[in-house]
Amino acid sequence: MLLSPGFLEAEAALALEVARLLKWEAFTLARGRTALEGAGGSVWTPRYVLGARTALDVLVVPGGPQMSKLGRDPDHQDWFAQIWEGLRAVFAGANAALMLLELGRLQHSQPLAAHPVALEALREQGFRPEAKPVLWQGKVCTTRGYLELPRAMLEWAGFSGEARAHIGL
């Protein structure tokens, strides 16, 4: 789970719970090890810094207020270049598609899903956001965020019935 300043705790917490139910290795990471305040005011301390974990199978990126800026950050760019080939899936929360756009990991010609607050910014950058809860571009799953993020994870893992009932999805 990639955390950023102002990350959406609702997305992060649900995604971590889904990872636990699916028996995936779950941890948080960020650019630094300093505590990060989420959008709702809770404070989380990432377990790892970006360079400490370069072998990942699945990455979840909750939305947040600085997503485009993070995509232009050299540390994030370098880390994504290191991990990209090994990833099987990347799940993008509410507006995390903005970061993946800046990183060059989404195609302008393909539709994507995003929370309504990110739609205009995506259109301005030449993307085609659609009013669908989940859309895939290769290994990247863009979502409208919030409850759609854990649903997408569960569906991808093929474990949706029992786990959805457990967390009320």
**pLDDT mean by block of 10 residues, the chain; 169 residues:** 97 95 93 95 96 94 94 97 97 95 90 88 84 94 95 88 67
What is the rounded distance in angstroms from the CA atom of residue 137 to the CA atom of residue 144?
14
Predicted structure pTM score: 0.93
Supply the pLDDT for residue 95.
93
b or e along 104-125 (b: 16 or more beta carbons within 10 Å of the residue's beta carbon)?
ebbeeeeebbbbeebbebbeee
Supply the pLDDT for residue 164.
67
Supply the pLDDT for residue 127.
84
Out of 1.10.150.130, 2.102.10.10, 3.40.50.880, 3.30.70.141, the CATH code matching 9-167 is 3.40.50.880
* Chain mean position to CA 99: 9
- Closest alpha carbon to 60 in 113, 15, 8, 109: 15
Q: Is 162 exposed, middle or buried (0-12, 13-18, 19+ CB in 10 A)?
A: exposed
Supply the pLDDT for residue 77.
97
The ranges assigned to domains in the chain are 9-167
